[in-house]
Structure 1
Amino acid sequence: MKLMTSKYSEPSVSISLLLLRVVAGSTMLMNHGLRKLSNFNNIVAKGFADPFHIGAKASLGLTIFAEVFCAGLIIIGLLTRIASLPLIVAMTVALFFAHSGDLYGEGESAGIFLTIFVVLFLMGPGKFSLDKKIGK
């Protein structure tokens, strides 16, 4: 593998996608999803964003589903494209609803995660994934 060339190789792309999946998925799971899950009642009491008017508990539940379950699927590379969709929705809501589209301020983290999950949706999980092993 030549590091100083403008050409790309399939192994480099797959290793990059593996790194992107594992780091983004585990960061989402550990820093966001599990924190929301363990503080569910406190977050609801403070008033969680409800952009779809389904109730704060339901909105928080769906966000936790995305940030815990879907992030876990992305880490292992199982149903990666499908699992990225709830995270794309959650990060879009976080960026444009919770942070008023402030990409270069409070919404920076949501914007970065949104970009990563869109890339994973478009590219797929790469060769080093369960999707590849089971032929999805």
Structure 2
Amino acid sequence: MRVSVSVLLLHVHGLPKLLHWSVEVQRIEDPFNLGGTLTLGLAVFAEVICPVLLILGVWARLACLPILAVLAVAVLFVYPQWSVEQGQFAWLLIILFAGLALTGPGPFVLGRSLRHH
């Protein structure tokens, strides 16, 4: 589950932001007035770096926290008018990443492989 949900977040949200930085920095929602560059940087960290860490199983529980923060900002501050139906993808991701944060990465992780060699 951690790999599939991380690949989904990376593919749908993270990589498009990273690959189209100059366009995304102009259009990203900035609910806390941090500036487009910082806001996009935080989003890319949460949607690119953290999913990669999760895929590898490295610092998995910790890597869920920035993802959950970005998702919470999206549903609570950027799109508060969304109904549950409109925000179902975000809510589903919140449920999945919260579950991963609580349960951990499972038995197949890079960290354990490196410790045994």
Using structure 1 for the length normalisation, give the TM-score.
0.76
2:7 pairs with 1:26: yes
User: Percent identity at matched positions?
Assistant: 36
Structure 2: gaps of 5 or more residues:
none
Pairing 1:24-63 to 2, within 5 Å after superposition: 24-46=5-27, 48-63=28-43
Q: How does 1:86-101 map to 2 (within 5 A)?
A: 86-100=66-80
- Provide the rounded CA distance (Å) in 2 between the counterparts of 1:26 and 1:63: 16
Deviations 1:33-79 (A, max 9, x none): 00111122212223x22233311211111101110010011111110
Larger radius of gyration between Structure 1 and Structure 2: 1
Give me the whole-angstrom Cα distance separating, in 1, the residues matched to 2:88 and 2:108.
Answer: 29
Q: Is the 8 A contact 1:95 1:103 kept in 2?
A: no
> Which stretch has the larger CA shift, 120-129 or 52-61?
52-61
Matched, 1:72 2:86: no
Which has the higher mean CA deviation after the structures are superposed, 105-114 or 66-75?
105-114
- Counterpart of 1:9? none
- Aligned residue pair count: 115
Structure 1, gaps ≥5 residues long: 1-19
Q: For the aligned residues, what is the CA RMSD?
A: 1.8
Q: Conserved in 1, the CA contact under 8 Å of 2:67 and 2:97?
A: yes
Provide the TM-score with structure 2 as the length reference.
Answer: 0.87
1:74–1:83: 8 Å Cα contact kept in structure 2? Answer: yes
* Distance (whole Å) between structure 1 residues aligned to residue 86 and residue 59 of structure 2: 30
